Structure 1
Amino acid sequence: MRHTPKFARQLLGASIALGLAAPASAAFIDDSKAVLDARNFYMNRDFRQDGAAQSKAEEWAQGFMLRFESGYSEGPIGFGVDAIGLLGIKLDSSPDRTGTGILKSDREAPRRAQDEYGEAGLTAKLRASNSTLKLGTLQPVLPALMRNDSRLLPQTFRGAWLSSNEVEGLSLDLGRIDRVNQRDSSDNQEMTVFNGGKRNIVLGSAKTSDEFLFAGGRYQWTPELASSYYYGGLDGIYQQHLVNLVHQLPLGEGQSFKSDIRFARSSDDGGSNIDNDAFGALFTYRLGGHGFTAGYQHLSGDTGFAYVAGADNALVNLVQINDFGNQDERSWQARYDYDFAGLGLPGLSLMTRYLSGDNVDRGTGLSEGKTWERNTDIAYVVQSGPLKNFGLRLRNATTRSNIGSDLDENRLILSYSLSLW
C-alpha cells in the first residue's frame, strides 16, 4: 500500500467530517486538537563480528506524524474520534545497507527500501463519566503491551481498549487486540512472540495469533507509593502476569530515592513451551541535576521472557539494543543522568549506562552466554523562540556477545512538534 504526501490532509479532513457527523457539541470542536510531529532519523549499525552476512545497516529518512483528537459530544455518553496519519520518506538507503527498522523494505531480494510508506488510522471513542472506550487504532503503553516508538514511525495496534478512572487513584484497563502494524510496515498483521537471542521458545503449529487480551490496573496508595498488576495473553501462545511496585522517597531539598520493583510470570497457552519468571529492580538516587541508578534483573525457567514481537516490554534492562531477556540470564546495570539546567543550560541532558549479562543457557555442552552493552545519549530541546520544541538527540551504543551480533550503533534524531490548533 503506497501513500502520497496529500494523504495526511485527506485523513484530517475525513476525521473532522466524522466528528461533525456526531451530535452537535461545542466541546467536540473546542476541545479538539491537532499536532504535526516531524522526525528526521539517521541510523548506522556496524556489524563487528567475523563472517557477518552484512557489514552494516545504514539509512536516513524523514517522518511525519499527524495526530488529531476531538473532544466529546454532549450527553451522558459522549462520542469522539481520533485520527493518526503516518508518513515515512526515504532520504538515503541501498540494498546492502537495509535493515535499520526505519524504512519499509521489499520482501524479496534485493531488499530495497521503498521511497515512501505510510499508515492512516481512525479511532472511535465513547466516554461515560470517567471511563473511556476506544475502538480502532491504538497505541497502548502498559506493562502487558507497550507500543514501540524507537524508530522513524511508531508501532500501532488495532483493537478495543476500555480505561476507567472512576475511583480516585485507581486506573483500570481492559482490552483486546487483533492486529499489529510494525514500525517499518504499512500492513496490519497477526501477532507472534519475540524469539531472538537465546530465548529458546518453541512454537507449535500456530506461529501467530489474532487475539491479545490484557487487563489490570494501577493504584496510587500515597503520593510516594504506587503498585500495579496486569495480565496479558497472546491466544494459543503465552499468558503472563506482571506486578510492579514503585516508591519515591523524598530526602530533602533536591534529593530523592526511587525504588522500582517488577516481577513477571510467563507460561504457555497450549501452543508453546514458554515458562519464565522475570525479576527486576531499579534504584535511583537523585541529587540536584544528577541521577545515579543501579539495576538488577534475574530470569529463570525453561525459556526466556515472552512478549509481542516488535513491541517494547516491561523488563528493567530493556535498553537501546538488548533487553537481557534470554533463558536463565542474570544482568545488572549502572546508569548516570545529568540535567544541565543547573548550569544554566535548560533543555540539555546526558545519559550514560553500562549493562552486563551472563548465565545464559546456550545448550548442552556449551559455555554460558554473556553480553555487555554500553549506551550514551545526549539530547537538547530548544526552550523558547521560533524554534521552541525543536529537539536534537544523539544516541550511541556498543554491544558484544557470544550469543548474538557484535554491534556499534549511532542514531541522530531531529524532531519538531507543531500544534496546528
Structure 2
Amino acid sequence: MAPTAIPLANTLLPGRLSGACLLSFGLLSPLAACADLIADSQLNLGLRNFYLDRDLRGDSSPTSRVGSWTQGFDLRFQSGYSEGPLQFGLDASAQYVYRLDGGGGRGPDTVIPYDDSRGEPLSDYGRAALTAKLRYGKTELTIGEHRPRLPVAFFDDSRQMVSTFHGFQISSQEIQGLSLTAGRFDRIASRESANHEKLYLFTRPNGPRHVSDGLNFAGASYELLPNLSASYFYGQLEDIYRQHYLGLSHKQSLAGGYQLKTDLRYYDNREDGDALYGDIDNRSYGLMGALSKNGHTLSLGLQRMLGDSGFPTLNGFTPQPWLVNWSALAFISPNEKSWQVRYDYDFSHMGVPGLQLAARYLRGSGIDRGNQLSDTSENERGLFLSYVVQSGPLRGLGFSWMNIHAQLKHGSDFEENRLITTYTWKFW
C-alpha cells in the first residue's frame, strides 16, 4: 500500500492548538501567553497540477518515454509567536500527491516514487512534519522541517512534492546588514520520496548509497555597501565532503535607465573524514551578469569545473541553483566549462501584468569522461512561459509551460515539456 500523508486537521483547530501551546511550552515558560500564536497564524493550502513528459532519444536509454500527470497538495500552518522576550511557535506541514496518469510501463520520471516490482509509479504518496520555533530579539532557532535556500543546502521545488531537510537551524540578524546562519541537517525527504532518509551523495540512478550522519553548516552574508554584498558558507557532510562557498553580488545603475547585476560565485569541495565516496576534488568558478531595462533582461553566465570530480549533489539530485549554470543537465561534470545566454521579458511593461517569458541556451564542453576516453560535450535549450491572474475571483491562479531540449554527445538526448497550474488557498 502506498504511503499517505499524516492527517493534521484535528491539530490545526485553534482551540486544540491553544491547549497544545500551553502543554508544550508551559514547562519552559509558564508566563508565556499563547494568544499571539493563533492571532498571527496562517493556514494555506497550495494546489499544484503537474504534467511532465520526457521524450528520450538514443540507444543508451532503457525506455523511450517517461512522465506523469499528478495533483499535489501542500498544507502549511505557520503559527505566530508567544509573548515575552523569549518567544515560542510551532509550524506544521503536510504534502500529498495523487497520480492522475502516468503508468503503463513508463520508467521512473523524477516526479513520484517508482515501484520496481510493479513496473510503474506509485498511485499516491505523502508526508508530514512539524517545526518548533524559538525567537529572542532577531535571533531564531528552528527545529524540525526546513526548506532552506542556502549555498550549502537548497530545497527542491522543481517537481510536484517539495523536498525538505530535517534538523535544526539558527539564524540571526542582530547586526544591521549582517546575516548569520548555522545548523545541522541529519535527514532529507527528497522530491520523489515519502521517507525521511539520511544524507548521501547522488551518483546515478540506483548508484551506491553511503549515508552520512549529518550535514553541519555555518555562514554569513554582509552588505558591504548599499549595492555590494558578500557571503561565505561552510558545509560538512560528515565522512563524505567539506565545502567552502564564497560569493559577491553587485548592483549598478547605468546611464539610460539600465541596471546591471553581477554575481561571482566560488565553491571548493574536498573529501571529509572516512571519505565514504573516496577522494573528492572539485572547484567551481561562476560569473553571471544581467543587464535590464524596461522589462527586458539579457544575462550571460560563465562557469568552470576544475578537478577530477564533478560537483557533489545530495539525495535525489537535489538542486544547487547557486551554481550560475544550474539547469536540467546541471553542467557539473569533471573539468566542464559551460556558458549560457538568457533573455527574460516582463509583459507588465506592455500592459499585461503577470505574464513573463524566458528563453536560454547553455553549452558545456571539455567534459572529462576518465578511463582515457575522449572529452565530451552537451547543450540545453529552454523556453519558459508563465502567467498569474492578477485580479478577480481567480486572482493568484498561475499557469506555466516549460520546454527543455537537451543534446549530449555521449548519451541520450531528450525533449521535455512541463505544464503546471498552481493556486494557494488561504484559510486565514
Question: TM-score range with shorter-chain normalisation?
Answer: over 0.9
1:316-327 correspondence to structure 2 within 5 Å:
316-319=324-327, 321-327=328-334
Whole-Å separation in 1 of the counterparts to 2:362 and 2:60: 26
Are the counterparts in 1 of residues 178 and 223 from structure 2 also a CA contact under 8 Å? Answer: yes
- Tell me if 1:283 matches 2:328: no
1:70-81 correspondence to structure 2 within 5 Å:
70-81=79-90
Whole-Å separation in 1 of the counterparts to 2:124 and 2:396: 26
Amino acid aligned to 1:371: E
* Counterpart among 31, 35, 53 of residue 62 in structure 2: 53
Whole-Å separation in 2 of the counterparts to 1:58 and 1:27: 45
The equivalent residue for 1:151 is 159
The equivalent residue for 1:174 is 182
Shift of 1:11: 5.1
* Counterpart among 267, 282, 303 of residue 309 in structure 2: 303
CA shift digits 1:135-157 (9 cap, x unpaired): 11111110010011101110011
CA shift digits 1:180-202 (9 cap, x unpaired): 111111111111112249xxxx9
Shift of 1:222: 2.3
Percent identity reads 40
Whole-Å separation in 1 of the counterparts to 2:204 and 2:17: 39
Shift of 1:25: 3.2
Q: Secondary structure at the match of 1:96?
A: coil
CA shift digits 1:212-259 (9 cap, x unpaired): 111001111222111100011110000000001000101256420000
Shift of 1:112: 2.3
Cα RMSD of the aligned pairs, angstroms, is 1.9
Amino acid aligned to 1:287: K
Whole-Å separation in 1 of the counterparts to 2:148 and 2:47: 21
The equivalent residue for 1:216 is 219
Are the counterparts in 2 of residues 54 and 96 from structure 1 also a CA contact under 8 Å? Answer: no
Question: Relative to structure 1, is the Cα distance of residues 3 and 19 closer, same or farther in structure 2, using a 3 angstrom cutoff?
Answer: farther
Shift of 1:284: 0.3
CA shift digits 1:344-385 (9 cap, x unpaired): 110000000000000111124322110000000000000011
Are the counterparts in 2 of residues 105 and 114 from structure 1 also a CA contact under 8 Å? Answer: yes
Specify every segment of 5 or more residues in structure 2 that has no aligned partner in the other structure, as ranges: 26-31
CA shift digits 1:55-90 (9 cap, x unpaired): 110200000101111111112210100111101011
Are the counterparts in 1 of residues 337 and 367 from structure 2 also a CA contact under 8 Å? Answer: yes
Whole-Å separation in 2 of the counterparts to 1:85 and 1:252: 49
Question: Relative to structure 1, is the Cα distance of residues 100 and 262 closer, same or farther in structure 2, using a 3 angstrom cutoff?
Answer: same
- Higher mean C-alpha displacement, 91-100 vs 62-71: 91-100
- Higher mean C-alpha displacement, 94-103 vs 236-245: 94-103
- Higher mean C-alpha displacement, 361-370 vs 265-274: 361-370
Are the counterparts in 2 of residues 11 and 85 from structure 1 also a CA contact under 8 Å? Answer: no
The equivalent residue for 1:126 is 134
The equivalent residue for 1:7 is 7
Whole-Å separation in 2 of the counterparts to 1:404 and 1:268: 28
CA shift digits 1:400-420 (9 cap, x unpaired): 113443111000000001211
Q: Secondary structure at the match of 2:37?
A: helix
Whole-Å separation in 2 of the counterparts to 1:407 and 1:98: 14
Question: Relative to structure 1, is the Cα distance of residues 29 and 51 closer, same or farther in structure 2, using a 3 angstrom cutoff?
Answer: closer
Are the counterparts in 1 of residues 262 and 287 from structure 2 also a CA contact under 8 Å? Answer: yes
* Counterpart among 237, 242, 246 of residue 239 in structure 1: 242
The equivalent residue for 1:269 is 272
The equivalent residue for 1:395 is 402
* Counterpart among 366, 390, 393 of residue 386 in structure 1: 393
1:327-406 correspondence to structure 2 within 5 Å:
327-406=334-413
Shift of 1:342: 1.0
Whole-Å separation in 2 of the counterparts to 1:164 and 1:149: 25
The equivalent residue for 1:293 is 299
Are the counterparts in 1 of residues 58 and 411 from structure 2 also a CA contact under 8 Å? Answer: no
Shift of 1:109: 2.7
Q: Secondary structure at the match of 1:50?
A: coil
Q: Secondary structure at the match of 1:119?
A: strand
Amino acid aligned to 1:293: S
Amino acid aligned to 1:171: S
Are the counterparts in 2 of residues 95 and 113 from structure 1 also a CA contact under 8 Å? Answer: no
Question: Relative to structure 1, is the Cα distance of residues 212 and 6 closer, same or farther in structure 2, using a 3 angstrom cutoff?
Answer: closer
Whole-Å separation in 1 of the counterparts to 2:256 and 2:22: 50
Amino acid aligned to 1:142: L
Whole-Å separation in 2 of the counterparts to 1:19 and 1:105: 39
- Tell me if 1:183 matches 2:187: no
Whole-Å separation in 1 of the counterparts to 2:37 and 2:77: 12
Whole-Å separation in 2 of the counterparts to 1:11 and 1:188: 22
